[in-house]
Chains A and B, each alone.
Chain A
Amino acid sequence: MRRKEQMENTGKRFSKRDAWLLAAAALVILVVFVIFRQFSGGSGSTVTVTVGGEVYGTYSLDEDQKIDIKINGTVTNVLVIRDHQADMTEADCPDQLCVRQKAISKDHETIVCLPNQVVAEVSNPNGENELDDVAN
C-alpha cells in the first residue's frame, strides 16, 4: 500500500520546468549578489546615525567611543565604536534584533533598529581613501 502510494507520487514532486525556474532564480540572485559586491566592500571611515530619517550625528570610526542615542530625552539605543567597528550594544525594544546584529565597518553597511527607527550607517566621505587602500 505504502509502496504503491509512493509510486503514484513520483513525478508529482519535481519536473524539468521546476528545475529551470529554480535555476533562473538562482542565477538572478547570483547576479544581484555580484553587482552588490561590486558597489560595496570598501572600508568606511565614519558612521552616521539617523533617527526617523533625520541625521542624529556622524562619528569617526577611528576613535573608540560610546554613543548614547536619545529620543525625546531618554536613551533608546547605545552604539559603541571599537577597533574601527560600530556595534549596537543596547536597545530598549523587545526584539533586540539590532543588538544581536554583528558589528559593522564596511562602506554602506547598516544596523537598523526598526521599532525606534534608528539607523547606523557606515560611510566613506573622503572617497579617495578607498583608492589608496587599493594601491596599498
Chain B
Amino acid sequence: MSKKKNIAFMGVFLALALVCSYVESLIPFYFGIPGMKLGLTNIVIIIILYCMGTKEAYCLSVLRVILAGFLFGNMFSILYSMAGAMLSLTVMYLLKKTGKFKIVTVSTLGGICHNIGQLTVASFVVENYYVFYYLPFLLIAGFITGLLIGIGAQEISLRVKRFF
C-alpha cells in the first residue's frame, strides 16, 4: 500500500476508534464492578492489526488512548487505559504471530489481558492490592467482551480484507 493511502487510512481509522470510544461512553454498560467496559474500539485495533500491520496498530492504539482520555476521561483513565491497551495489544500481536489462532481467540485473550493490565496499574495508583478482589470478575468480563468483540472483528475483517 502506498504511503499516502496508508496515512489516509490511519486517519479514518483513528476517527473511527474515537467514535467507538464515544459511543461506549454513552452506553451504561455497568454492573457495579469498576473498570468493566465493552471495548468496542478493540474491533478497530484488531482490524488494523490484521489488515495493515503491527506498527500501525500500536500507533493507533496509543493515539486513541491519549485522545479519548483527553476527550472523555482524565489523567488516570489515560494511565490505566494505556496499560491495558499495551498489554492487550502485545499479547494479541504475539498470538497472531504464532499464526495458529483465529481472531476470536486472539481477541478473547486480548480482552482478558486488557483487564489485567488495567487492574495492575489501578492497584499501583491507589497503593492497595486488595483491588485485586475484582480480578475474577474482570477476567470473566474480559473473556466475554473479548469473545463478542472477536466475533465482530472476525466477520468484519473477512469481508474488508480485500480492500487493503
Contact = CB atoms under 8 A, between A and B. Distances in A.
A32 B119 CA distance: 15
A53 B122 CA distance: 12
Question: What is the interface residue range for chain A against chain B?
Answer: 35 or more
Given A17-B101, A18-B104, A100-B30, A114 B143 contact: no
Given A21-B109, A110-B130, A121-B130, A14 B104 contact: yes
Contacts of B122: 112, 114
Contact of B143 (A14, A15, A26, A94): A26
A22 B105 contact: yes
B41 interface: no
Given A25-B109, A95-B73, A117 B130 contact: no
Interface in B82-131: 100-102, 104-105, 108-109, 112, 122, 125-128, 130-131
B100 to A, nearest CB: 5
B101 A114 contact: no
Interface in B46-90: 73-77, 80
A3 interface: no
Given A21-B109, A32-B135, A12 B158 contact: yes
A121 B139 CA distance: 21
B78 to A, nearest CB: 11
Nearest to B123: A112
Interface in B17-43: 30, 32-35
B128 A119 contact: yes
Contact of B128 (A36, A37, A101, A110): A110
Task: Enumerate the 5 nearest inter-chain pairs by beta-carbon distance, A residue then B residue, closest first.
Answer: A53-B127, A102-B32, A33-B136, A18-B105, A114-B76
Given A13-B102, A18-B102, 10 more contacts: A9-B158, A21-B105, A22-B104, A25-B109, A29-B140, A36-B135, A52-B126, A114-B122, A115-B76, A118-B126
